[in-house]
Amino acid sequence: MNKSVEQLILTLNKEYDVYAEVLKLAKKKKKVIIEGKVKELDSITGKEQVMIVTLGKLEKIRESIVNNIIKEMEIKDEIENITELVEYFDDEEREKVLEIRKKLVEILDEVKKENNLNSELIKQSLEYIEFNKNLLMTLNNQGVTYGANADEKDVKVKTNLFDMKV
């Protein structure tokens, strides 16, 4: 097997492993969002950012390897993606690369679904918080007092959420 193709397979497998961790975090994030654990959500987001940097580095490595393969195999055609590239590989190499590509596509779909669900959950949480904030800000405590003629007079006391001591 070509050394560069082996490096490509290794890099694709590393990318898969990182995406598997991203998926685990996305599932954990869903639970944390539902439970409203803001500190844990912040921690998960930090871990995701580290993984995004790692994936960026792996992508650059993969691009470099693909360029090396194109030069080594003296491919003159323009290669748009891995599927086009594997057409120049022998059967064993093609099978291995397409297998990991399939796994990557599947896990990326799962990550996308989890992220979309998490985005929707966060959006709903923010809408709920905004609704409650607006409700509290416009809430008027109404009390009853008596005027000079002993008739009821409404007293409106405006509450300000941010002046309250917790």
Indicate whether this model's pTM tops 0.95: no
pLDDT for residue 5: 94
What's the rounded Cα separation, in Å, for the pair 87 and 89? 6
pLDDT for residue 141: 46
pLDDT for residue 98: 96
In the chain, which stretches have pLDDT less than 70? 139-166
What would the CATH number be for the domain defined by 3-158? 1.20.58
To the nearest 10 degrees (0 to 180), the angle between helices 3-35 and 91-138 is: 20
pLDDT for residue 166: 45
Cα four-point dihedral sign 145, 146, 152, 153: negative
pLDDT for residue 38: 86
Domain ranges of the chain: 3-158
Q: Which of 87, 78, 57, 63 is nearest to 8 (CA)?
A: 63
pLDDT for residue 131: 83
- Asked if residues 160 and 141 have their Cβ atoms less than 8 Å apart, the reply is no
pLDDT for residue 158: 52
What's the rounded Cα separation, in Å, for the pair 60 and 126? 36
What's the rounded Cα separation, in Å, for the pair 135 and 124? 16
- Asked if residues 64 and 11 have their Cβ atoms less than 8 Å apart, the reply is no
pLDDT for residue 18: 97
Beta bridge pairs of residue 23 = none
pLDDT for residue 132: 81
pLDDT for residue 29: 94
